[in-house]
Structure 1
Amino acid sequence: MTDAAALLSDLVAIPSVCRTPNGGIVALVRDHLARHGVEAAVLPGPEGDRANLFATIGPRDVPGIVLSGHLDVVPAGEGWTGDPFALRRMGDRLVGRGAVDMKGFVACMLALVPEMVAAPLRRPIHLALSYDEEVGCVGVRHMIARLPELCATPLGCIVGEPSEMRPVLRHKGKVAGRLTVRGRAGHSSRPDLADNAVHLAADIVGLVRATHERFLREGPFHPLFEPASSTLQVGVIAGGTGVNVVPDTCRVEWEARAVPGTDPMTVHDALQAGIADLVAPLQAAGRAVAVESEILSLYPALDLADDAPLRGLAEAWSGHAALGAVSYGTEAGLFQAAGIPSIICGPGRIAEAHRPDESIGLADLEACCAMLRRVIADQA
């Protein structure tokens, strides 16, 4: 466990916050692999200052197993009792930003590289590390698009998000967006001469709430999830400059979570149609209103069949029975959409993620390394 904990310390020490350059942490991983004779492909994204990393141990021309993780973390924020980017031990736990989400899994992957290299692998093990997962699974899309030139189509993918080492078969898909509502400013004493953007935004919020309530009543439903339907909610609303000014702009940010079998974009499209129905009669009456829309994040649901071979393999490797569904989202749905059977299985508890004093147990790292050793043995 010393190697995994030391590697985790090195990873946490690089504050690879989402939407920021990640050259430092990519170089750390690349150099670690090079020391063990493993060549890594660094795959820059279109942003120009961020990159994915993909490496293969074993033969490239036969199907193998992908071990997938992301290198970015959410901002540290307030409430920490120590430096969030200096890993420290508290009892049997290691505390630091990204310790559980998900540099702990990455550290275990890297700690097992010498054993992967030493094993007589008949099937390859691929290490796939992405950027900006935390803001909508951004980087992994570019890496998945490059896979055909990097390796044979994999047999399966393990996404090591924290699941207490229980394989997870399903999660909801997601789409999130921003609406910029435009109106016409004016003095509050003559609102009849202006067009209040906040009022129109409030009507849109009502539409979001009504659509969400319709999902709860009418479905479609998936019994393994809580709630069992797709959901829709507004998370941010901001507009106006003063109580005596009719506001001409209001921003609304919303999010939908869609059960497997429902394309998240169908929720987006239904919302857009409802907004168009609100705006069209106002514009026809000569009101100076408009709504601009942009998508902030989008990823599909994960839906691995109960009888999928990867389920049985993951249960054997982890030593735990599979869990039907979780409420959080991952990159696994994108691998699945690319034709690669995917499952979630990683160390630690999701409840530790995104909070002050985020931590992972030493026993969690040990259990993850034990699982990875079984993966290695199965590929030899």
Structure 2
Amino acid sequence: MVDTMALDRNATALAHAGDWIVANAEEAVAALGRMIAIDTSFPPGLGYDDFAALMEEFVAPLGFVTERVTVPESLWQVPNGPASGPRTNLIASRDSGRPACGLYVHVDTVPAAAGWAGDPLRMERAGDRLIGLGAADMKGCAAAILLALRAARACAVDLAYDPVLLFCTDEEGGLYPGVRYLAEQGRLPEHILNFNGSAEARIWAGCFGLFNLLVRIHGQAVHAGEGNRQGAGINAVEGALPLLNALTVLKARIATRVSALPPPPGKPPLAAQLNLAAIQGGTAGGQVPALLEVTLNRRYAPEERFEDALAEIEDVIRRSVAAVPGLSVETMLVGHLMPTADPTGPHWPRWQAAMGEGFGYAPETFRKWGAASCSDFGWVQCATGRQEVLLGGLGRPDRNIHAPGEHTTVPDIVSLAQAILFYLAADFRPDLNPDLDPQLPPTKS
């Protein structure tokens, strides 16, 4: 016999928890401000220990046991490369015997670009808009997760899953992202929600891969007054001009390679990319520069092979530099994210329903698309052999992610927290729960 009174109690608790999230949204706002204040920009990624300590403070009252897992230096360190400091990942878990559900966020941000009106590490508020580095990508998602879990505990919501919080490093183009290391060590749950995505009515179709290649062009320094004399010095900046021109030609050729991955609604087809992402050379006007460093960012479609894409660039570099007497060049890979293949799986209908409930999306509004932006979950698929990756988050086209003025909003944090709460709740759409075991007792939050 169905215990209708228990069902009513559970439904009431879930409804109260959804209201609790709205009433206590300022807790998430305050938490987000503290997260943004910790500089976790990668490169170099020096703030990971401090961020882990803050997360430990936040999750301890919720009954989580935490463990710090550090990626060995031998896996990510490159001589004179962009990364430095310990790569500290944090796992927070509770074990009641229910199936585990990973809740993933990457803790690193890109460095603050020029053009911020204020301090990017001090959150500013303009009405419901929350402005700061990482507000949308993706510290605001961590604030939404914590808000959902606080609501579940405050309102005694029965959970279908044991949440496992995964706070991971070096997603922003690192050589060895933390979630890759956790996957290879067998430390990840089979079932994971990745919040490095969109707040829109979206079903994820996968994404491109990327790699960052550091190119060092070596000349010979002399006094600038001797620079025009034959045999006196080799100007690395001027000598690199043929290479930069050749890379510009290659960039246009690469951009013609279109992927079959479905683009966002109303957008053009997704195409491969080559970008000159950073350049630095010379020291002062009185010296012929002996070194030019260029960082290339290559975004490659799932249809392309990493090895081929890398070899194509290295061939252009080698031929261009060889044409300039006296120059030498070295290249090194400083970041790599594999493409994420079609992440379809049995939990997607439930997550879609939870997103619809939290954000107010009707089922028919959801569309499936991929992205030329990248994810570290291609490594997870490779290491585990598991296809499914659920994706949500706070991304929207107008949120200035990776740019000055990056922001999210209080309503979006509330909606995402409600979606997470619904997804984890035992009595939310049990007909869409592929892990449901009626023999197990409910799990209190």
* Aligned twin of 2:202: 166
Q: Deviations over 1:53-94 (max 9, x none)?
A: 11234457x764321112233444665555544444322222
Equivalent residues of 2:46, 2:85 under 8 A apart: no
Look up the equivalent residue of 2:194 and give its one-letter code.
Answer: I
Spell out, residue by residue over 1:216-265, the C-alpha distance to the aligned partner (whole angstroms, 9 max, x if none).
34x36336345633121323344456789765432222111111232334
RMSD of equivalent CA atoms? 3.3
CA deviations over 1:154-180 (Å, ceiling 9, x no partner): 134423434436343222211111111
Which residue is equivalent to 2:9? Answer: none
Between 189-198 and 346-355, the greater mean CA deviation after superposition = 189-198
What CA distance in whole angstroms lies between the structure 1 residues aligned with 2:112 and 2:243? 33
Supply the distance in 1 between the matched residues of 2:109 and 2:287 (Cα, whole angstroms). Answer: 40
Matched with 2:31 is 7
Q: Give, in angstroms, the shift of residue 348 of structure 1.
A: 4.3
In structure 2, the residue matched to 1:89 is: 125
SS at match of 2:50: helix
Q: Name the aligned partner's letter for residue 180 of structure 2.
A: R
Structure 2 letter corresponding to 1:172: F
CA shift at 1:8, angstroms? 2.1
The one of 411, 415, 430 aligned to 1:367: 415
| Map 1:143-158 → 2, pairs under 5 A | 143-146=182-185, 148=186, 150=187, 153-158=189-194
Aligned length: 370
Note closer, same or farther for the CA distance 1:196–1:227 as it changes in structure 2 (3 Å cut): farther
What is the CA–CA distance in structure 1 between the aligned matches of 2:199 and 2:151, rounded to whole Å? 24
State the 1:119 CA deviation.
5.1
Give the equivalent residue in structure 2 for 1:309. Answer: 346
Partner of 2:393: 346
Q: Which runs of 5+ in 1 are unaligned?
A: none
Cα 1:178–1:79 change in 2 (3 A) is closer
Say whether 1:358 aligns with 2:394: no
CA shift for structure 1 position 280:
5.6
SS of alignment partner, residue 33 of structure 2: helix
User: Mind listing any 5+ residue stretches in structure 2 that lack a counterpart?
Assistant: 1-21, 74-83, 426-432, 436-441
Aligned equivalents of 2:138 and 2:414: distance in 1? 15
1:376 CA drift (Å): 0.4
CA contact (8 A) 1:165 1:368 kept: no
Code of the residue aligned with 1:110 in structure 2: it is: L
Q: C-alpha separation between the residues in 2 aligned to 1:9 and 1:220?
A: 40
How many angstroms apart in 2 are the aligned matches of 1:344 and 1:23?
26
- Separation of aligned partners in 2, 1:183 and 1:92: 53
| Structure 2: distance between partners of 1:50 and 1:363 | 32
1:51 paired to 2:97: no
Q: Give the secondary-structure state (helix, strand or coil) at the position aligned to 1:178.
A: strand
Rounded to whole Å, the distance in 1 between the matches of 2:194 and 2:312 is: 33
Residues 1:20 and 2:56 aligned together: no
Residue 38 of structure 1: CA displacement? Answer: 1.2
Q: Secondary structure at the match of 1:367?
A: helix
TM-score by length of structure 1 reads 0.82
Say yes or no: does 1:105 pair with 2:152.
Answer: no
* Alpha-carbon distance in 2 for matches of 1:238, 1:352: 25
**For residues 246 and 393 of structure 2, what CA distance do their matches in structure 1 show?**
38
Do 2:99 and 2:160's aligned partners in 1 also have CA atoms closer than 8 Å?
no
Q: Is the 8 A contact 1:88 1:94 kept in 2?
A: yes
Q: How is 1:1-380 mapped onto 2 (pairs within 5 angstroms)?
A: 1=22, 2=24, 3-18=27-42, 19-45=45-71, 46=73, 49-59=86-96, 64-76=100-112, 79-80=115-116, 83-114=119-150, 120-121=158-159, 123-136=161-174, 138-146=177-185, 148=186, 150=187, 153-164=189-200, 166-184=202-220, 187-191=226-230, 195-217=234-256, 219=257, 221-222=259-260, 224-225=262-263, 226=268, 228-240=270-282, 247-279=289-321, 287-304=325-342, 308-319=345-356, 320=361, 321-338=366-383, 339-340=385-386, 341-349=388-396, 351-377=399-425, 378=433
8 Å CA contact 1:57, 1:116 repeated in 2: no
1:334-378: CA deviation from partner (whole Å, max 9, x where unpaired) = 333333422431124253323344322121012101210221025
Mapped partners of 2:164, 2:201: distance in 1: 20
> How far off is 1:135 after superposition?
4.8
Structure 1 contact 13–87 (Cα < 8 Å) conserved: yes
Q: Is the 8 A contact 2:104 2:192 kept in 1?
A: no
Deviations 1:69-122 (A, max 9, x none): 122334446655555444443222223332212111101111222456655545
Distance 1:32 1:242 in 2: 47
Q: Tell me, what secondary structure is at the counterpart of 1:326?
A: strand
Q: Is the 8 A contact 1:144 1:335 kept in 2?
A: yes
Task: Report the CA distance shift for 1:101/1:221 in structure 2 as closer, same or farther (over 3 A).
Answer: closer
Q: SS where residue 372 of structure 1 aligns?
A: helix
C-alpha distance in 2, partners of 1:48/1:234? 26
What is the TM-score with the length of structure 2 in the denominator? Answer: 0.72
User: Would the aligned equivalents of 1:58 and 1:122 in 2 still touch at CA under 8 Å?
Assistant: no
Identity among equivalent positions (%) equals 25
